[in-house]
Amino acid sequence: MDRLTPERLFERRWALQLLERVLARLRQEYARAEKTDLFEELKVFLSGSARPVSHAELAAKYEISVSAVGVAVHRLRRRYGELLRHEIAHTVNDPQEVDDEIRHLITVLGR
């Protein structure tokens, strides 16, 4: 079994805090557009976990098409990725290191 060393614990906390900052920025963007409720519904699609609400249910709730929900989810994921890259860019000295740092973040969270 892999021990949770102080270094790994620190890295894990850093990774989780980074992801929370990105999520908070994304939430703020939706709030400025007066779409906080939609954000709260869509954010479950950012993770690979079980989805409690289907696209069809969201489409009916917001009176939009199922394909519009799919587009909204795609845009949410794309923007989340952009914000993540931006946030990570602040933690590295060289912009070329962003991809390596993202891979490291994934590794840290996967432990």
pLDDT digits (tens, 9 = 90+) for 33-56: 999 999 999 999 998 666 778 999
- What pLDDT shows up at residue 1? 45
Q: Which amino acid is at 34?
A: E
Phi and psi angles of residue 97, each rounded to the nearest 5 degrees, phi first: -90, -5
Confidence class of residue 2 from pLDDT cuts 50, 70 and 90? low
Give pTM, 2 decimals. 0.87
CB atoms within 10 A of CB 13: 11
